[in-house]
Amino acid sequence: MTNNKNNVYNVIIIGGGPAGLTAALYTARANLFPLVIEGSKAGGQLMLTTEIENFPGFALGINGPELIDIIHKQAERFGAQFISEDVIKVDFSKRPFKVFTEENTYEARTVIVSTGASTKWLNLPSEQKLIGKGVSSCATCDAYFYKDKDVVVVGGGDSALEESLFLTKFANKVTIIHRRDELRASKIMQDRAKKNPKISFIWNTVVEEIKDVKAGRVSAVILKNLKTNKISEVKCDGIFVAIGHEPNTKLFKDILKLDQKGYIVTQQRSTYTNIKGVFACGDVQDHIYRQAITAAGTGCMAAIDAERFLESEEH
């Protein structure tokens, strides 16, 4: 099991976030010569993250893209191959498995799925029309445009607070709109946000509409208090939506077993899916922990599972 035979890869890894890259590192070190199909959004959600303070090994923190770059280079050093094409279809009905991109078809004896998760939107028509025109899901990418401006952030989890804290470096005022009167975020993030003089909260409230579609920019949000049904308007120049994520599993619908929320189901204490030879790791199969370090951990598990699976076939 030293090299890929007849253009059939031992392992194809779909997705290049911390899970996929860690799977690449481990399978490369096992001499499996993995192919990582990263897609155009290589790096996953870490590419949109500011300082990561809780990835072990970085006492002073590290930013997301830098961490991705390091693991990428580490996997490459041991022979992992990378291509930046978007997977459009898979055929897991028989082996070798087939993975299709616009440009090519790749074949593999095993596949590791690590396609991660994407931002959830409010799904208001006005929101969809104003994405990139004042509506954003990435403070790291867009905060700079809101120097001395007023912005709102929707959500009550760690993402919402992280985005808000980052926005305070630029914006004049950050208003967090949360649908309950209690935050879901970790205590340390709550303390930081509550202490920040630029941040204020509007509780028990949802965004009903974003103005002004006609003008092609954000000028205000229309809010509804869920306790009183009272409607109000808050003027703002931008809105950041940070209400969580959904798994990137469209490609695998009706192919791999998914749970009610659309996450890939893996067999207990392993990364085995319902198809022998197909493994899943990272946020695409985890709606509980969803951390870079747990994604990396399951990436390692997937690599070991794939390696042992291939070995068992050779005996």
* Chain positions contacting ligand NAP, by CB under 6 A: 54, 122, 154-160, 162, 179-180, 184, 186, 206, 243-245, 290
Q: Which is nearer to ligand NAP, 122 or 300 (CB)?
A: 122
Q: Which is nearer to ligand NAP, 10 or 140 (CB)?
A: 140
Least distance from C-beta 261 to ligand NAP, angstroms? 11
CB nearest ligand NAP: which residue?
Answer: 157
**DSSP annotation of 208:** E
Is 138 catalytic? The answer is yes
Contacts of 208 (CB under 8 A, 6+ apart): 124, 222, 223, 224, 231
- For 187, other C-beta atoms within 10 Å of its C-beta total 8
DSSP characters over 219-263 = -EEEEEETTT--EEEEE-SEEEE-S-EEE--GGGTTTS-B-TTSP
Active-site residue identified among 142, 158, 283, 286: 142
Question: Minimum CB separation from ligand NAP for residue 4, in Å?
Answer: 35
Q: Please report how close the Cβ of residue 99 comes to ligand NAP at its closest, in angstroms.
A: 28
> What are the tokens at 239?
């809105």
- Our CB check for ligand NAP shows the closer of 169 and 180 to be 180
- Provide the β-strand partners of residue 278: 111
Query: Among residues 122 and 275, whose Cβ is nearest to ligand NAP?
Result: 122
Q: Closer to ligand NAP at the Cβ: 257 or 290?
A: 290
> Shortest gap between Cβ of 256 and ligand NAP (angstroms)?
23
Q: Is 86 noted as a catalytic residue in this protein?
A: no
Active-site annotation holds for 69: no
Which residue's CB is nearer to ligand NAP, number 173 or number 178?
A: 178
Q: Taking Cα atoms as reference points, which of 61, 210, 249 lies closest to residue 122?
A: 210
CB–CB of 169/50 below 8 Å? no
Quote the least distance from Cβ 54 to ligand NAP, whole Å. Answer: 6
Q: At what angle do helices 187-195 and 158-167 cross, to 10 degrees?
A: 30
Q: How far is CA 17 from the centre of its chain?
A: 8
Q: What angle do CA 14, 16, 20 make, to 5 degrees?
A: 70
Closest among 126, 132, 134, 131 to 151, alpha carbons compared: 134
Tell the smallest beta-carbon distance from residue 204 to ligand NAP (Å).
10
How far is CA 116 from its chain centroid?
5
Q: Which residues are catalytic?
A: 138, 141-142
